[in-house]
């Protein structure tokens, strides 16, 4: 089957997770056995104004004889010359509207219409699949799970690379790492509340890497009297982020809601132990390779942090379990296999249509 994957958000979409997804899945899709998959960028398409996109994208797909178009978002032109697949990463705007930004809600309003136009919907986890099908009123048989894998940039870094990165950010001593935007959904307030419960003598430093997203970390740290125990590094380039993962005592993924939880697998890829929420998709992804905590209970987060600080053997065991779970479930080969199964299925389904 001749298909096109729209990789343009890899260069135009700001949030790291969507950008990486479009880049990495585009690269994997280009090597699917039994299918010829061209990315939108190889067709000469670039991100344009919406009105131009409505014309240029369909024209390019028709010109190149594309039989299936796969969008990593749920945005589709009004007129398409071929069937489409859309990825819907989660149903959080429907299930947790209080955790969804006002700016994003109008975008979600179009999700149901676009998902019903598509011949299939892709989600990154079984949890996301079930919630997306329910929230958008989709036949569950049309919603398929294609897992995510860490970008190849995320691998263990050398001691020198870690030291250079820490010097770049003026970080000394041991630290925990939290990756993602400082939005309420990611629970930076819960992490700070957990730190405040720990005695100052035992309190670790936590580094937050990601956009501010309206949360004033410095003010919240001062309000809790945490001093230098929490710092916001802002957005961090991927090479530096891999070094920060490598050097961390542990990575905190204490989100209130996730459709997948990419920092979990990125941490494993860099050899870091993980503390993750027991909410939404995170237990499914983490399995037995993370300490699970209640994101709404700072005491739960604090207790897990203390356990890791006090137990080097536990940290080593979680590193081992993380590597094993990553290799078993969240590799490019696993993504390629799931995507191939989906495209094989759709090829047969489309061929059987009158």
Digit-coded pLDDT (tens) for 102-149: 777 778 888 999 999 999 999 999 999 999 999 999 999 999 999 999
At 296 the pLDDT is 97
Q: Are residues 289 and 182 in the same domain?
A: yes
Q: Are residues 201 and 236 in the same domain?
A: yes
Residue 189 CB-half CA count within 13 A? 11
Instruction: Specify whether the CB–CB gap between 243 and 237 falls below 8 A.
Output: no
pLDDT digits (tens, 9 = 90+) for 80-110: 999 999 999 999 999 999 998 877 777 888 8
Q: How many CB atoms lie within 10 A of CB 315?
A: 17
For residue 272, tell me if it sits in a domain: yes
Q: How many CB atoms lie within 10 A of CB 172?
A: 10
Q: Are residues 170 and 208 in the same domain?
A: yes
DSSP track, 13-47:
--SHHHHHHHHHHHHHHTT-TT-EEEETGGGT---
Q: Are residues 164 and 312 in the same domain?
A: yes
Angle at which helix 238-247 crosses helix 262-269, to 10 degrees, equals: 70
Residue 121, beta-bridge partner list: 86, 143
pTM for this entry:
0.95
Place of tokens 């001093």: 227
For residue 76, tell me if it sits in a domain: yes
For residue 96, tell me if it sits in a domain: yes
Q: What is the DSSP letter of 156?
A: P
At 14 the pLDDT is 55
For residue 233, tell me if it sits in a domain: yes
Domain count, the chain: 2
Q: Are residues 145 and 41 in the same domain?
A: yes
**pLDDT mean over 247-254:** 98
**Full residue range of the structural domain in which residue 28 is found:** 2-149+331-351
For residue 75, tell me if it sits in a domain: yes
Q: Are residues 211 and 345 in the same domain?
A: no
Distance CA 277, CA 165 (A): 28
- Whether 25 shows a pLDDT value over 70: the answer reads yes
**pLDDT mean over 62-83:** 93
Distance CA 149, CA 170 (A): 30
Place of tokens 């930076």: 188
β 205-209/175-179 pair status: parallel
Q: Are residues 166 and 121 in the same domain?
A: no
CA 99 to chain centroid, in Å, comes to 16
Q: Are residues 172 and 311 in the same domain?
A: yes
Burial of 273: CB neighbours in 10 Å, binned 0-12, 13-18, 19+: buried
- Whether 74 shows a pLDDT value over 90: the answer reads no
Q: Are residues 81 and 228 in the same domain?
A: no
For residue 154, tell me if it sits in a domain: no
CATH code of residue 240: 3.40.50.2000
Q: Are residues 113 and 64 in the same domain?
A: yes
Local structure of 161: helix, strand or coil: helix
Residue 82 token pair = 């071929």
Q: Are residues 125 and 219 in the same domain?
A: no
Q: Are residues 131 and 220 in the same domain?
A: no
Q: Look over the chain and give the mean of its residue pLDDT values, rounded to a whole number.
A: 94
Instruction: Specify whether the CB–CB gap between 3 and 65 falls below 8 A.
Output: no
Residue 123 token pair = 């989600």
């Amino acid at each position: 089957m001749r298909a096109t994957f729209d990789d343009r958000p890899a260069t135009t979409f700001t949030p790291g997770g969507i950008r990486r997804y479009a880049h990495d899945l585009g690269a994997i899709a280009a090597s699917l056995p039994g299918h010829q998959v061209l990315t939108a960028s190889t067709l000469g398409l670039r991100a344009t104004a919406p009105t131009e996109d409505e014309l240029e994208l369909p024209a390019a797909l028709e010109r190149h004889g594309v039989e299936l178009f796969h969008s990593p978002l749920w945005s589709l032109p009004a007129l398409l010359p071929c069937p489409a697949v859309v990825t819907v990463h989660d149903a959080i705007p429907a299930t947790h509207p209080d955790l969804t930004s006002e700016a994003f809600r109008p975008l979600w309003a179009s999700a149901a219409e676009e998902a019903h136009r598509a011949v299939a919907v892709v989600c990154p986890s079984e949890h996301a699949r079930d919630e997306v099908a329910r929230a958008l009123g989709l036949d569950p048989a049309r919603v398929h799970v294609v897992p995510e894998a860490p970008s190849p940039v995320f691998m263990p870094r050398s001691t020198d690379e870690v030291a250079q990165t820490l010097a770049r950010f003026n970080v000394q001593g041991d630290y925990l790492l939290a990756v993602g935007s400082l939005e309420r959904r990611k629970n930076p307030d819960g992490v700070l509340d957990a730190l405040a419960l720990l005695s100052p003598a035992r309190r670790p430093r936590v580094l937050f890497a990601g956009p501010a997203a309206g949360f004033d970390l410095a003010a919240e740290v001062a309000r809790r009297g945490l001093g230098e125990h929490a710092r916001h590094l802002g957005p961090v380039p991927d090479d530096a982020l891999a070094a920060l993962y490598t050097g961390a005592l542990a990575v905190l993924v204490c989100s209130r809601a996730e459709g997948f939880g990419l920092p979990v697998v990125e941490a494993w890829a860099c050899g870091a132990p993980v503390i993750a929420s027991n909410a939404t998709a995170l237990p499914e992804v983490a399995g037995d390779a993370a300490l699970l905590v209640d994101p709404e209970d700072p005491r739960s987060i604090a207790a897990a942090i203390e356990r890791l600080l006090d137990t080097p053997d536990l940290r080593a065991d979680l590193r081992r379990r993380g590597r094993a779970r990553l290799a078993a479930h969240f590799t490019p080969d696993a993504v390629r296999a799931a995507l191939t199964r989906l495209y094989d299925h759709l090829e047969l389904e489309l061929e059987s249509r009158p």
